[in-house]
């Protein structure tokens, strides 16, 4: 299609006729969660014109508690989704042919945050405790971790009691749970803002515990990677998005303002979004290329779930470098 347009442009120019503007390639990005600095790079790329410079017309769809990115992608509602690798691999094993084309976040930000007064000092101390966990695909790393520790998630003195945590920190503040799930760039800051100082907390970072999995990767459908024009568009999208992430990391306050401008709910604050952007900058890679060793580690974590692993076999074709390789070749 692009060659046909180029040929038509040359022909019109030869006839001395006005040349039509090249049509931008339209792409829709479905976010994993609501508009916040977790996705600042994409909003910055759109606001600063990086997508337009790449000849792309990008629509960004916020996520939410009732939105499953995988379902949106499979249903044709998006071309690219932001998702965590555990949920993407679980969906792939169930028949949705998701493929990771880029990994802007090269490190995990997931933690379990506990009140020190509970007596928890090490993972073995979780036994008999109540832990808050996110679901909707975010529970997979936690369940694998508990399996490795030999702790049942069905409660009792020899296991842990799991409560389905909303996307807030209320269970810890209200002492409904001894520990809750937090991200370095979001909920941990909310706990501090709620008045619990860091010295009264014990934090277990999933990376430190050897159970980290990859988060916030970019996924597309395998069938679309068979189309050269889509691979080209994806490569330009990744290149422009990483330019957006780089700008956001270097200009956290401006990035936070851009996020707020796109938050139609009015729920976000400048202070928290700036904090979030500063922490997210610590997780970013340079060019979006996937570290296959980290992907293999994610697979290992997910397959170590005892009698009920998240995935039952090593995935084939679940990630590709064809898009980031092409992006690296672009000026």
CB 81 within 8 A of CB 73: yes
pTM: 0.88
Topology of the domain covering 110-205:
D-Maltodextrin-Binding Protein; domain 2 (3.40.190)
Whole-angstrom Cα distance, residue 162 to residue 107? 26
What CATH number was assigned to the domain covering residues 20-107+214-329? 3.40.190.10
What is the residue-wise DSSP string for 224-244? GGG-HHHHHHHHHHHHHHHHH
Q: Where in the chain is the domain with CATH 3.40.190.10?
A: 20-107+214-329, 110-205
Whole-angstrom Cα distance, residue 193 to residue 272? 9
What does the pLDDT profile of the chain (331 residues) look like in tens digits?
333 334 444 443 444 444 444 679 999 999 999 999 999 999 999 999 999 999 999 999 999 988 999 999 999 999 999 999 999 999 999 999 999 999 999 999 999 999 999 999 999 999 999 999 988 777 888 988 998 899 999 998 889 999 999 888 999 999 999 999 999 999 999 999 999 999 999 999 999 998 999 999 999 999 999 999 999 999 999 999 999 999 999 999 999 999 999 999 888 999 999 999 999 999 999 999 999 999 999 999 888 866 677 889 999 999 999 999 999 999 7
């Amino acid at each position: 299609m692009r060659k046909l347009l180029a040929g038509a442009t040359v022909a019109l120019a030869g006839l001395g006729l006005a040349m039509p503007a090249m049509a931008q390639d339209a792409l829709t990005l479905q976010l994993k969660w609501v508009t916040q600095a977790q996705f600042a790079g994409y909003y910055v790329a759109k606001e600063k014109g990086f997508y337009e410079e790449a000849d792309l017309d990008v629509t960004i769809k916020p996520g939410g508690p009732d939105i499953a990115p995988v379902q949106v992608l499979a249903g044709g509602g998006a071309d690219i989704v932001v998702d965590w690798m555990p949920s993407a691999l679980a969906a792939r094993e169930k028949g949705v042919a998701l493929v990771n084309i880029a990994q802007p976040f090269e490190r995990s930000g997931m933690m379990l945050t506990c009140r020190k007064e509970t007596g928890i000092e090490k993972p073995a101390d979780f036994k008999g405790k109540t832990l808050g966990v996110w679901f909707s695909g975010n529970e997979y790393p936690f369940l694998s971790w508990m399996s490795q520790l030999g702790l049942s998630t069905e409660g009792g003195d020899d296991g842990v009691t799991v409560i389905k945590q909303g996307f807030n920190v209320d269970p810890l503040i209200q002492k409904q749970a001894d520990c809750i799930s937090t991200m370095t760039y979001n909920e941990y800051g909310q706990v501090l803002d709620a008045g619990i100082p860091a010295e009264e907390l014990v934090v277990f970072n999933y990376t430190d515990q050897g159970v980290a999995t990859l988060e916030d990767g970019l996924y597309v459908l395998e069938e679309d990677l068979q189309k050269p024009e889509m691979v080209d568009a994806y490569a330009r999208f990744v290149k422009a998005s990483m330019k957006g992430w780089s700008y956001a990391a270097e200009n956290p306050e401006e990035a936070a303002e851009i996020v707020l401008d796109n938050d139609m709910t009015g729920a976000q604050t400048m202070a928290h979004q700036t904090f979030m952007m500063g922490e997210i900058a610590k997780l970013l890679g340079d060019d979006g290329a996937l570290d296959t060793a980290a992907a293999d580690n994610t697979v290992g974590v997910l397959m170590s779930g005892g009698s009920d692993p998240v995935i039952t076999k090593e995935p084939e074709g679940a990630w590709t470098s064809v898009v980031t390789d092409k992006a690296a070749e672009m000026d």
